[in-house]
Amino acid sequence: MQQHYLDLTNPANVSPSANAAAGTTNRSTLDEDWLLIAGIVLAFSQLGFGFLEAGSVRYKNAQSIVIKVFLGMCLTVLIYWLFGYGFSYGDDFGTYFMGGTKLGAYNWAATEAQNDYSNFVFKATLSCIGVSIVSGGAAERLTFLAWGVLALFYSGFVSPAIVHWTNANGWLTKLGYKDLAGSGFIFYSAGVAALVVTVVSKPRKYRFDTNSTLNFQPFSSIYVAFGTVILFATWMFINGGQIQSGSSTPYVQGLVAVNTLIAGAAGGFWSFVIRYLTKETTSLFSISRGILAGLVASSAAAHESQIWATSIVASIAGIVYTLTATALPKFKLDDPVQIVPIFLHGGFIGVFFTGLLDVNGGLFYGKGMKLVGCQLLGLLIITVWVAFFVFFILIVLKGFAVLRIDSDAEVAGIDKEKCNYEAISFSNEDPQQVNIIKSIKSKAFKDRLKGHKDAIITLISPYGNNGNYLYSASRDGNVKSWDLLNRQIASKFLISKISDDITVQDQDENQQTMKGNIICAATFSEFNIYVGYDDGFIKSNNIKTGESVYAYQGHKAQITSIHFLNIRQLASSSLDGTVRLWDTTSNECEVIFNIGYPINLMNVIFDKEINLLYGKNTIVQIDPYKQSIVRSVQFPNFTIMSYLVHKTLLILGTIDNFMHIYEIQQLDQPNPQPIKVIVGLHGWALCMLVHDPYLYVGTDDKKIKVYEMKTWELKEEFSGHIDGVTTLALANGLLYSGSYDHLIRSWDLEEMYQRIRERAIMQKEDLNSRRYDVYLKSLPKKKKGLPKKKK
């Protein structure tokens, strides 16, 4: 009776060099063909990683992340040819540290016992996989230069050392460490490197800023699914390609393939189950990445594990991925591709459970703790080695100021700033309308007002549209008064709650980032500025001198809005669920209205009414003096991002990039219907301003859209900001816009009106021209007396 494969003793990590060293010649040409085919298939894994990472980042960076994957592949193959392959599989002359032969393809062998050419194809493409994983940790942050240096250093030195220690003749393997296809020396190693990159490069700009409305949603779950399917197929060759003597062990290839298939299925299934039980929702992102976590865990011992054991290990990997992927943002770890929960955690689980469930040395098979200890020692050594050298190269790059992309490119999108164009262009606008709008070039842009170093949160003209002064405030506490006639700063100061003393402009402003010193809302009177902080504190300062006037205390959570209800009374709303009216002459709180829910936005019609947004979709009109709710309307079908009350209209900007316009009188009816739904914003409406007969909407796609309120047609788009437009104001006959890009831009409305009139004439002429063309085409038929064809 023939023995089953798992009843035999089989060493892990057998390589061609090991066979050659042992003097074996039992490798057939079929084995060499298998190894070469496996290497060729592994090259397709780069397409899988391209889809995986492009779908995980924001659309404006999808192209750049694929460029980094392909750049890493190119650099890895070249450096692996010159150094990596020799460091990994060359003769170390008894040092056990790193190989010193076979560098640059020198003295490669092509014999029956050893074929360095076929082995290089497989090992180089396998090394490319590790580098592609590291690129996920650098998503949306590292420069191309920094990534290129890191990829060369990692694939040419860091990873080859680990591979040399863990191959058949390596000192870790001789101690007893087991790892068939790279759960530790490829995937866990790359996961550690990606974690270091993520920590050192810090989160994406505004990623964990509770006041930011920037969209950090990943680009496409479908792309992630495509990438997962490609990687699932190539994983058969990642694991199976390590078995390089299939002709002498006929059962191995099938067992490895079955274990790999089962692992992917188990990881994906349990990721789906845990996601549904904890979130009560399903996610294509979650199930796709759960499959990958299961595959990573299978690579340690797919050749020496029973199928039931592999299914358990992969299930644990899928469960751990789902739980840790949810927990990472709580620690402010920005990992958009989720490399850490997939590869670091999955690799750790695969290597550790090999010590428990390996049939030839596992603890559960009565073999003792030796293998468990060796596996943990291997993981510890990999962690220290990779973390130290990756951290070192990143700190050097940071010291030369080439590590992270500049702020403007980050907020605008690397694709647009560094790759000339974005990977995706939207095309759901009316082509005829877009062509007509673009046929006359925009000349509305006037100039820029520079000076702020953080996002602009408020712009106010104290004297209205015809005033010659503009007040601005940014989140870091910088307040400026602009002389619009001379286009210069009239006064400036840094308002701080740390001290009542005036902080001069050139003072270190890093202190402003601590809790309680981030400005969340601001408004101006003729002489003072009123700012609300993230701890509920409100402070007023003189706009000209910057001197502290008064501190208003009472709110217990972040201030969300501040507006003047009338000349005397200041209204403030907070996440503590209250609206307070402050007498700015006596500096006392006159009214406290507790709505009972965190208030996200407040809209005040001067001297008339107060409207509030609480929760995701509820608008409330209150009478603070009578302590009563005048009207409460819930919109269950969407999440509201911004809103504006103008005369008889309620205008809502929603998270799905739509705008819904309602008649206020109809809101008292059950299930009110909008009079108009505007589509095609391509971003959230962050702010709105009405200047009859037009509605101006600032969006997070860096544009200001102008709609005619009679027809709700898009009449104009202002482009120029490189980040979302946060606030709008009218002054000196111009429209001013503040943005997350720290700039204030002005726009000539008279120029806009002229262009709108010109476009209307063009549209009319175009319509008449088409009618005339139809008339000319119909003349021959009229002359011949032929009846026209029915449409």
Q: Note the pLDDT of residue 508.
A: 41
Q: Are 85 and 122 in contact (CB under 8 A)?
A: no
Q: How deeply is 210 buried, as exposed, middle or buried, from its count of CB atoms within 10 A (0-12, 13-18, 19+)?
A: exposed
Cα distances (Å, whole numbers) of residue 411 to 60, 205, 521: 9, 7, 22
Residue 393 pLDDT more than 80?
yes
Q: Note the pLDDT of residue 445.
A: 63
Phi and psi for 524 in degrees, rounded to 5? -130, 145
Please list the alpha-helical segments (H only) found in 328-369: 339, 345-357
pLDDT digits (tens, 9 = 90+) for 121-140: 999 999 999 999 999 998 99
Q: What percent of the chain has pLDDT over 90?
A: 50
Q: Are strands 734-739 and 725-731 parallel, antiparallel or unpaired?
A: antiparallel
To the nearest whole number, what is the mean pLDDT of the chain?
85
Q: Note the pLDDT of residue 215.
A: 72
Using pLDDT thresholds of 50, 70 and 90, give the confidence band for residue 5.
very low
Going edge to edge, which strands form the sheet with 703-708? 685-691, 694-699, 703-708, 713-719
What is the pLDDT averaged over residues 443-460? 81
Residue 561 pLDDT more than 60?
yes
Using pLDDT thresholds of 50, 70 and 90, give the confidence band for residue 790.
low
Instruction: Return the bridge partners of 707, or none.
Output: 695, 714
Phi and psi for 456 in degrees, rounded to 5? -75, 130
pTM over 0.95: no
Using pLDDT thresholds of 50, 70 and 90, give the confidence band for residue 424.
low
Q: What is the dihedral of CA 645, 460, 606, 534, to 10 degrees?
A: 80
The C-alpha atoms of residue 745 and residue 753 are separated, in whole angstroms, by 18
Single-letter amino acid, residue 308: W
Q: Which two tokens stand for residue 565?
A: 């209800």
What is the pLDDT averaged over residues 611-624? 89
Q: Note the pLDDT of residue 767.
A: 60
> At what angle are helices 221-240 and 252-279 packed, to 10 degrees?
150
Q: Note the pLDDT of residue 681.
A: 76
The C-alpha atoms of residue 204 and residue 471 are separated, in whole angstroms, by 29
Beta carbons within 8 Å of 327's beta carbon, 6+ residues apart: none
Q: What is the dihedral of CA 415, 417, 420, 424, to 10 degrees?
A: 30
The C-alpha atoms of residue 301 and residue 257 are separated, in whole angstroms, by 12
Q: For residue 467, what is the DSSP state?
A: -
Single-letter amino acid, residue 727: T
What is the pLDDT averaged over residues 195-223? 84
Residue 6 pLDDT more than 60?
no
The C-alpha atoms of residue 86 and residue 123 are separated, in whole angstroms, by 11
Q: Are 690 and 646 in contact (CB under 8 A)?
A: yes
Q: For residue 508, what is the DSSP state?
A: -
Q: Are 212 and 269 in contact (CB under 8 A)?
A: no
Domains of the chain: 28-207+218-418 (1.10.3430.10), 432-446+641-722+742-777 (2.40.10.480)
Q: Note the pLDDT of residue 789.
A: 53
pLDDT digits (tens, 9 = 90+) for 54-88: 999 988 899 999 999 999 999 999 999 999 999 99
Place of tokens 């709609």: 707
pLDDT digits (tens, 9 = 90+) for 26-47: 556 667 788 899 999 999 999 9
Using pLDDT thresholds of 50, 70 and 90, give the confidence band for residue 516.
low
Q: How deeply is 753 buried, as exposed, middle or buried, from its count of CB atoms within 10 A (0-12, 13-18, 19+)?
A: middle
Instruction: Return the bridge partners of 713, or none.
Output: 708
Q: Is 366 left (phi over 0), alpha (psi -120 to 50) or beta?
A: left
Q: Which two tokens stand for residue 128?
A: 């490319």
Beta carbons within 8 Å of 718's beta carbon, 6+ residues apart: 442, 444, 445, 703, 704, 706, 735, 737, 745, 747
Q: How deeply is 636 buried, as exposed, middle or buried, from its count of CB atoms within 10 A (0-12, 13-18, 19+)?
A: exposed
Q: How deeply is 9 buried, as exposed, middle or buried, from its count of CB atoms within 10 A (0-12, 13-18, 19+)?
A: exposed
Q: Note the pLDDT of residue 606.
A: 74
Helix (H) or strand (E) holding 76, with range, is helix 62-79
Single-letter amino acid, residue 409: A
Residue 643 vs residue 692, higher pLDDT: 643
Q: Note the pLDDT of residue 672.
A: 87
Q: Which two tokens stand for residue 732?
A: 């000196």
What is the pLDDT averaged over residues 537-563? 90
Q: What percent of the chain has pLDDT over 70?
A: 85
Q: Which two tokens stand for residue 278?
A: 């904890």
The C-alpha atoms of residue 160 and residue 182 are separated, in whole angstroms, by 12
pLDDT digits (tens, 9 = 90+) for 278-337: 988 889 999 999 999 999 999 999 999 999 999 999 999 999 999 999 999 889 899 999
What is the pLDDT averaged over residues 592-599? 90
Place of tokens 């990687």: 231
Q: Are 49 and 227 in contact (CB under 8 A)?
A: yes
Q: How many CB atoms lie within 10 A of CB 223?
A: 21
Q: Are strands 569-574 and 609-614 parallel, antiparallel or unpaired?
A: unpaired
Q: Are 662 and 676 in contact (CB under 8 A)?
A: no
Of 166-175, 235-244, 330-339, 492-501, the range with the lowest mean pLDDT is 492-501
Alpha carbon 175 to its chain centroid, in Å, reads: 42
Q: How many CB atoms lie within 10 A of CB 190?
A: 30
The C-alpha atoms of residue 129 and residue 190 are separated, in whole angstroms, by 9
Using pLDDT thresholds of 50, 70 and 90, give the confidence band for residue 183.
very high
Beta carbons within 8 Å of 234's beta carbon, 6+ residues apart: 41, 42, 44, 45, 48
Q: How many CB atoms lie within 10 A of CB 4?
A: 9
Q: For residue 790, what is the DSSP state?
A: P
pLDDT digits (tens, 9 = 90+) for 630-658: 999 999 888 898 999 988 899 999 888 88
Give the dihedral sign, CA 551/555/557/558.
Answer: negative
Around 633, how many Cα atoms within 13 Å sit in the side-chain half-sphere? 23
Q: Note the pLDDT of residue 314.
A: 97
Residue 513 pLDDT more than 60?
no
Using pLDDT thresholds of 50, 70 and 90, give the confidence band for residue 571.
very high
Q: Are 155 and 74 in contact (CB under 8 A)?
A: no
Using pLDDT thresholds of 50, 70 and 90, give the confidence band for residue 212.
low
Single-letter amino acid, residue 505: Q
Q: Are 588 and 594 in contact (CB under 8 A)?
A: no
Residue 443 pLDDT more than 70?
no
Residue 128 vs residue 770, higher pLDDT: 128
pLDDT digits (tens, 9 = 90+) for 746-756: 988 888 888 78
Of 640-654, 725-739, 756-770, the range with the lowest mean pLDDT is 756-770
Q: Which two tokens stand for residue 666?
A: 């109809």
Q: Which two tokens stand for residue 30?
A: 């079929």
Residue 788 pLDDT more than 90?
no
Q: Are 315 and 343 in contact (CB under 8 A)?
A: no
